[in-house]
């Protein structure tokens, strides 16, 4: 079955990284009596559009910089495969970033005008992930970007626009969600070490080698599960241990990355990590509501 190239370029498997922080932050807001469906929905739209715009930019700029070649083991990239013309992807990237900005502006009535520079910063970093003179992904800051924006910013500000304040519980939630989101990137970078090195893409995996990226991924997994224990202690709620039900899947990922060598194996690991992030966030949200 053929997949629409624009859907392919949006990288659906990465979208749980946009949805998970909104889900858990909204569940926390519900727990403290601050749930607001309208602002939560806007946060979700903003997060999804930002993720898709970043993916489109990544597809375009990685092609222009020579990082996406036939030697690459990962999923098909639309521009590199000739499915979408570079100029069309460039325009779509701009349109999607503008749509994300428009969605973000709809949050101003909920949190004030100071949210505007926060949103612009999110968009700028999404664009700068692979674009500009110092693209974040090319200088080894990709995981930092994901942890910060798809963890800390997404969770804490989704909670803020619903409740009007920040909390340490939201920050702790952000570390778990951010670490699993960064895990998706860690697998990508581990897989692409050789092609990234040739394209002068100095990811952490390229800088420090496959041994480092393997243990980076494993530490991110541990961090997420340790966060459940910390939350259970902080909230005095045993339901916060529900995400530990995903430990068997986490163990399979822990052992699987060391053995993967083909594109098919790496793609399966990516799909399973996205599944882990989705299950983890749903169980975390359920624990907060219960």
Over the stretch 27-57, which tens digit does the pLDDT of each residue have?
999 999 999 999 999 999 999 999 999 999 9
Check residue 1 and give its pLDDT: 42
- Measured between alpha carbons, how far is 78 from 194 in angstroms, rounded to an integer? 21
- Measured between alpha carbons, how far is 140 from 206 in angstroms, rounded to an integer? 9
Regarding pTM above 0.85, the answer is yes
The range of the structural domain enclosing residue 205 comes to 5-289
Domain count, the chain: 1
**Alpha helices, DSSP H only, in 37-114?**
37-65, 86-105, 108-111
CATH number of the domain to which 71 belongs: 1.10.600
Check residue 130 and give its pLDDT: 87
How high is the mean pLDDT of the chain? 91
Q: Which of 148, 126, 150 is nearest to 61 (CA)?
A: 126
CA Rg value for the chain: 18
- Measured between alpha carbons, how far is 246 from 152 in angstroms, rounded to an integer? 22
Over the stretch 209-247, which tens digit does the pLDDT of each residue have?
999 999 999 999 999 999 889 989 988 889 999 999 999
Over the stretch 128-151, which tens digit does the pLDDT of each residue have?
998 888 889 899 999 999 999 889
Give the Cβ contact number of residue 235 at 10 Å: 16
- pLDDT of 207 above 50: yes
Torsion-angle region of 159 (φ positive above 0: left; ψ -120 to 50: alpha; else: beta): alpha
């Amino acid at each position: 079955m053929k997949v629409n190239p624009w859907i392919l370029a949006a990288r659906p498997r990465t979208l749980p990284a946009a949805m998970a922080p909104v889900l858990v932050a909204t569940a926390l807001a519900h727990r403290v009596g601050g749930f607001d469906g309208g602002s939560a929905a806007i946060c979700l739209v903003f997060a999804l559009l930002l993720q898709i715009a970043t993916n489109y930019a990544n597809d375009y700029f990685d092609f222009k910089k020579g990082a996406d070649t036939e030697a690459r083991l990962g999923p098909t990239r639309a521009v590199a495969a000739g499915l979408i013309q570079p100029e069309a992807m460039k325009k779509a990237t701009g349109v999607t970033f503008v749509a994300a900005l428009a969605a973000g502006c709809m949050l101003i009535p909920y949190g004030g005008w100071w949210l505007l520079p926060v949103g612009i910063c999110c968009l700028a970093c999404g664009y700068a992930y692979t674009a500009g003179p110092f693209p974040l992904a090319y200088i080894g800051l990709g995981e930092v970007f994901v942890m910060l924006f798809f963890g800390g910013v997404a969770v804490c500000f989704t909670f803020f626009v619903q409740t009007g304040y920040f909390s340490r519980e939201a920050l702790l939630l952000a570390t778990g969600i951010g670490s699993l989101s960064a895990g998706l990137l860690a697998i990508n970078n581990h897989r692409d070490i050789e092609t990234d090195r040739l394209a002068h893409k100095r990811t952490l995996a390229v800088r420090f080698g496959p041994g480092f990226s393997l243990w980076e991924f494993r530490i991110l997994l541990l961090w997420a599960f340790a966060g459940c224990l910390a939350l259970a202690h902080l909230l005095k709620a045993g339901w916060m241990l529900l995400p530990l039900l995903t430990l068997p899947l986490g163990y399979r990922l822990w052992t699987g990355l060391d053995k993967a060598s083909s594109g098919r194996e790496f793609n399966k690991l990516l799909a399973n990590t996205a599944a882990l992030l989705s299950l983890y966030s749903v169980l975390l949200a359920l624990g907060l509501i219960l």
